[in-house]
Structure 1
Amino acid sequence: MKKILTGSLLISLVLISCKNKAEEETTTEMLDDMKTVFIGTYTRMEGHVEGKAEGIYSLYQEPKSGSLRYGELVARITNPSFVKVSQDGKNLYAVSETGSREGEVGQIFAYSINEHYQLKELNKLSTKSGAPCQIAIDQSGNYVFVANYMGGVVMMYSREKDGSLKEHKQIQLENPEESHAHSVTVDEENEHIYIADLGNDKIWIFDFDANTGEINPNEQAFVELEKGAGPRHFTFSEDQDYAYSINELNSTITAFRRNDTGGLEVIQNISTLPEEFKGDNSAADIHLHPNGNFLYGSNRGDNSICAFKVGEEGKLSKIGVYPTHGKTPRNFAIAPEGNFLYAANQDSGGISIFKIDKDTGELRQELTNFEAKTPVCIEFVED
């Protein structure tokens, strides 16, 4: 998509830019060279956060310098704590993370993205349980998954031609009173689905048929992690032979070897924290660098990004731990070119910007944290 700005949007951008003395004058030509980023936020007071934002925002990233510029509020929605753009760039999906209050269940919203990167709501559906916290899309782009933190419920939706959603299947995990499904991950082959269950300390494994939309338990069914680990988010190595879980409760990353049938074998547990850290911490997000050589995770408490080298046998060696100079870095994103990492500091507000050394994996925070209210999710739109 080419960014063609309306007059009102350009005026809005310039006015906001003038308020921020650190930013230069915004021009249409400059924006044409930038990448669009959507930001999910918290908008109201919850037990774990004091939401201060109004919904989903658009930003612009300058690929060479890594700097960010304000776009606009593109959707007013309660607690859009996770947003996901479809592979074809035509749609954005957002959870409304409600359900912490009596009688509430969460919702998923489907939006179309126009040529100005503005959103139009297509439809919204219940997630059938409380506190939906993550969205995944299968490799065909035909199915959308939502993990609900409450009740062990994972919802699967079919994606219609216009990008709207239709309820397809409900997956109920075992031990629902203790289960906390935190993420769904689909492998590159589009044959297996992995659900990180923080409450049960398990990664559930399912076989997936993208042609029919059928999901059935894998012959292994699950892999169990250390008691009290709390698996939260999950990703694969570049060759898909290994996988990694970042574990919220004991601040570790677990490395797995993956077999031909999709099963997992634990091969390593490694701390996300610096050796000298003694306080309380909960690990959050995990991402592989686009070159496949480095793995990164976020720490809430130590308030840092941890960096690891990915070895030939899938095992990790720590490169370093880098402070975000913000409070509670939750989700983070690596720019498509692999030059910059952006971390959303939920409680202090602001987005930390790191320059990535693509040869060593080291991080360097060159730029001042970008101002943003209770940001929790960062999603790039790839051209």
Structure 2
Amino acid sequence: MAQAVMGAVLGVAGAVAAHAATFVYVSNADSQNISVFRVDESAGTLAAVETVPVGGTVMPMTLSPDHRRLYAGLRSQPYRVVSFAINPLDGRLAELGRAPLAESMAYLSTDATGRYLLSASYGGNQLAVNRIGENGVAGDVQQTIKTGPMAHAIRTSADNRYAFASVLGSDAWLRLRFDATTGQLTEDAAPAYALPEKSGPRHFVFSSDSRFVYLIDELDGKLHVLAFDRAHDTVKPIQTVSILPADFHGDKPWGADLHLTPDGQFLYTSERTSSTLGAYRVDRATGKLARIGTYATQKQPRGFNIDPSGRWLFAVGQLSTQMSVYRIDAKTGALEETGQVPVGKGANWVEVVRYTGSNE
């Protein structure tokens, strides 16, 4: 069955060049499904394609490097990763298989080769690696590594030599040597970067040229800019800014997510207590950030993402059943909300993929 589905997907792939399209995927934890939309790239409007039931509390998702597969993590028992083939013509998902996850995982990513699925467990205090088959289907867990409390994200560097992981409860950003041949991780004795106590590092992204790392805290309302030494895979801090609106009056900050535009000019963050998005201009030479503005968004915005053109931002809220669409001003980075579309309950994660002839 899975082989037939994959064959059908590959069979239509050659027609994509004549049908360039962008698709948005939203995981809805409480509805236990994934919403699929097609984007009108000129207007930013969304057309519903399908809603895919997954039979569990679906939260983190990630794409394969070739964007042919979508992996979705279930945080209800039994903990599983669901592998989907993406039809590049219409964006529809075809389930290819399910495999165990080591724990309830807050974050998923793949290494640069697409042969390994990396994950971080907030409740299980660990990182894990699953092998991915040649067919793009995630398989069994092959390694787990214990961390301090509340591991929250894991990603490899661009050259795939190291993986880095944020551990919220121990205020640490870890460096782990990664063997791309075997998929094995080896943790350094000391963190790559130690953050202030009770800062709660959560998500992070590398700049496209790998010269900088941007790391958002969950607990203190801060965003860190780190200079990244690509020769030695080490970092040093160069700036810390606030993600909070100027009129913040909440009991405590609650940082969530961050994303760079593909051209690296702008960075955006989400803050759940105030239900806002923060926008920043990036100095490409120094990596430093300058605040552009603050924008209201859906209630409790755990996740958002930016389309590959850098023109549109899509934001969801865990306490909302709508997704907001924003136009990104190419010159200023300012956001303009252009519409909303219905999503499921507990919407928390957004992935965006664009297919063109160059995807083949």
- TM-score normalised to the size of structure 1? 0.82
Deviations 1:86-108 (A, max 9, x none): 1223221100012xxxxx45221
1:224 aligned partner, one-letter code: A
Q: Corresponding residue for 2:102?
A: 128
Q: What residue is the counterpart of 1:106 in the other structure?
A: 79
**Corresponding position: 1:240 with 2:213:** no
* AA in 2 matched with 1:275: A
Instruction: Give the deviation of 1:357 after TM superposition.
Output: 1.0
- Report how far residue 218 of structure 1 moved: 4.1
Structure 1: runs of 5 or more not aligned: 5-30, 44-52, 99-103
Displacement after TM superposition at 1:166 (Å)? 2.5
Displacement of 1:119: 2.9
Q: What amino acid is aligned across from residue 264 of structure 2 in structure 1? A: G
**1:368 offset after TM fit, Å?**
2.8
- 1:170-189 matches, within 5 Å, as 170-175=143-148, 179-189=149-159
Which of the numbers 124, 129, 132 marks the counterpart of 1:156? 129
Q: Secondary structure at the match of 2:341?
A: coil
Contact 1:127 1:148 in 2 (8 A): no
Contact 1:141 1:159 in 2 (8 A): yes
Query: Which residue, 330, 334, 349 being the options, matches 2:302?
Result: 330
* 2:342 alignment partner, SS class: coil
> CA 1:174/1:36 → structure 2, altered by over 3 Å: closer, same or farther?
closer
Residue 62 of structure 1 corresponds to 40
Q: Per the alignment, in what secondary structure is the counterpart of residue 82 of structure 1?
A: strand
Structure 2: runs of 5 or more not aligned: 1-8, 13-17, 356-360
- Name the SS of the counterpart of 1:63 in structure 2: coil
Structure 1: how far apart are the matches of 2:353 and 2:289? 29
The residue number in structure 1 matching 2:220 is 250
Distance in 1 separating the partners of 2:287 and 2:44: 30
In the alignment, does 2:281 pair up with 1:284?
no
Q: Deviations over 1:196-255 (max 9, x none)?
A: 111111111112221332322347543111111111101012221110111111111111
Q: Is the 8 A contact 2:129 2:183 kept in 1?
A: no
Residue 270 (structure 1) shift = 0.9
User: How far apart, CA to CA, are the structure 2 residues paired with 1:2 and 1:294?
Assistant: 35
Does residue 1:72 correspond to 2:50, yes or no? yes
Equivalent in 183, 189, 194 of residue 213 of structure 1: 183
The AA in structure 2 aligned to 1:233 is H
Partner of 1:301: 273
The structure with the greater share of residues assigned to strand is 2
Provide the C-alpha distance between the structure 2 equivalents of 1:194 and 1:212, rounded to a whole number of angstroms: 17
More relative contact order in 1 or in 2 (CA 8 Å, sep 6+)? 2
Does residue 1:364 correspond to 2:336, yes or no?
yes
Name the residue aligned to 2:61. Answer: 83
> 1:18 aligns to what?
none
Kept after mapping to 1: 8 A contact 2:307/2:353: no
Q: Which of 36, 41, 49 lines up with 2:23 in the alignment?
A: 36
1:369 counterpart SS class: strand
Deviation per CA, 1:348-379: give whole Å up to 9, x if none. Answer: 221111110122211111x2322212321111
> How far apart, in 1, do the equivalents of 2:10 and 2:144 lie?
39
Q: Within 1, Cα distance between the matches of 2:142 and 2:296?
A: 41
Identity of aligned residues (%): 28
Provide the aligned C-alpha RMSD in A.
2.2
